[in-house]
Amino acid sequence: MSIHSKNNKMNNRLCLSVFAIALFGLLLATTPVLAQTSPNIVVILVDDAGLMDFEPFGGEARMPSIQRLADQGVRFSNYRTSPLCAPSRAMLLTGVDNHLNGVATIPEVIPKEHEGKPGYSLALEPGVKTIADHLRAAGYRTYMTGKWHMGRRVQDLPVSHGFDRSFALDASGADNWEQKPYMPYYTTAPWYEDDQPATLPEDFYSSAFIVNKMIDYIDADNNTADKSAQPFFAYLAFQAIHIPIQAPREFTEHYDGVYDQGWHVLREQRWQKAKQLGLIPADAALAAMPEGLRDWQKLSDEERRFYTKAMAVNAGMLEAMDHHIGRLINWLEQSGQLENTLFVVTSDNGPEFNDIVNTAGIGLWKVVSGYNSDIDTMGEKGSLASIGPEWASAAASPNKMFKFYSSDGGIRVPLIIAGPTIPQGTMQSSLAMVTDITPTILDYLGLPASLSENDIGITGRSLKPVLNGSREQTYGPSEAVGLEVAGNAALFKGQYKLARNLPPHGDGIWRLYNLHKDPGETSDLAEAEPVVFSTMLADYQQYAATHGVQSMPEGYDALEQIKRNTYKKLFSAYYFYIIPPPLLLLAVLVWLIKRRRRGQ
């Protein structure tokens, strides 16, 4: 072989080696690579808890576990979510506005005019990626336990949206002690493990089970050689404190006497506490309760006893949930995983106002379903209770209204972020939105959104700059941020908020507020500042057009829509039992008429 040939072979090998090294380098540059120290991520979502329901924000319930996280992290005092559960969950998990991700509203309140419209499929639509999708692509283990409420077809369940393991409830709520529904809209409590219908254990209590199952999932993979080195993402979506409010007696008893003075006093107490904590200015006014609500002093002794106990159970349910969150934290600590775990703790919307016990026609269903409303055993197995609109208004204090509505009582909720490199024991007043959670986690980990050509882009923003102090605000004073669910809408811009609420507790009129001076939304500035009002109204109309917000049917009322949708659902489930009796009766009448005519 000639020297020339040998040199050519050596050159070819050298070129191939250089090409291989370059290709490897390119792959490293374009593919997210997890460091051994990449933090675990735990997202905890509470159901229907208002801003001051959390102890770190001034609430009465004992929540030492969440208080510990607040003390070790940052509390966001101006965080906004949507006024309803499923849209909030979809936005939290995707970072995408609810009208773009497919969960514009919830099945219980959707009018027939919106069914099937783009963004109104009520399940995550093609091209929408969850935080679990992003993290699994980056090498994370991913788990979900608790309430899902975004569809029960296999393609809708968590297992089809980035979660390795899941135990999920596809309903707005369910009983916390047994596998049964909490309202006539549902015929069962539809739980699923991964992609299969699941049965709950005999010793089920929702908060305990959600934590137990999560620990089981994480621990099983911790003991698997090929997964133990991977960090994990855990999403725990609690049923507390959604209807029905239920808690073990030992937690409820901690609140004997706490709420004896009634809802008017609690509203005032939380309002004053909010001033002390710096949640609102010292001179901020307190909004009036919605019209038509009851006066505590005009209730009978029995009614006051009932609602006092209801609020005690509500607080007990929060404490029970916190107790089980504490078990998760202790387990992570004992297994050496806690120090390298980022926690995000928040709520899906404000306090629930529906008083299910006093809903027309609920009595027969309650008996058939094995529920009671006894005061002495309230919150225990078989109990059906809720706090009602008056307590919901008090719980939402110092904010106006409650769940379902775009007033801050429905959308201003707690947010706590704690973990490695997060400042400790601080309060952050910058505006933050539910769509900001996913981009914040990705930014915190240094991961790209990894969207393909047909994927829906994230609409939220990372909160990391305000967390690390490199920026004071996530949204500038001239940037408009909108939200809408079931016709209840809001738009934030600088110090101003534009809001509209529909019946039964709203009137459909757009109002303008200066939240810096008036966080209770007590003074409408629409006439006093017409330029700001008209500009923000135009901003909202642009938001609605670009995000595909459907206009509401004339005369829409959420509670009336729930009734219509419930009747339709019941007929669909029980038509075989409903139709034959009238047909049989009609046949008998026809036969009797014919027989009578023959006899004449």
List, by residue number, the catalytic residues.
Answer: 85, 149
Residue 393 CA to residue 313 CA, distance in Å, equals: 17
Determine the Cα–Cα distance for residues 594 and 571; give it in Å rounded to an integer. 32
In 240-342, alpha helices (H): 249-252, 263-277, 301-334
How would you class 479 by CB atoms within 10 Å of its CB: exposed for 0-12, middle for 13-18, buried for 19 or more? middle
Q: What's the rounded Cα separation, in Å, for the pair 579 and 117? A: 31
Angle between helix axes 85-94 and 437-445 (nearest 10 degrees) is: 20
* Nearest-angstrom CA–CA distance, 405 and 524: 17
For 508-537, the three-class secondary structure string (H helix, E strand, C coil) is CCCEEEECCCCCCCCCCCCCCCHHHHHHHH
In eight-state DSSP terms, residue 132 is: H
Residue 500's φ and ψ, nearest 5 degrees, are -140, 135
Closest CA to 419 of 391, 399, 394, 445: 445
Q: Which residues of 171-198 are buried (b: 16+ CB within 10 A; e: fewer)?
A: bbbbbbbbbbbbbbbbeebbbbbbeeee
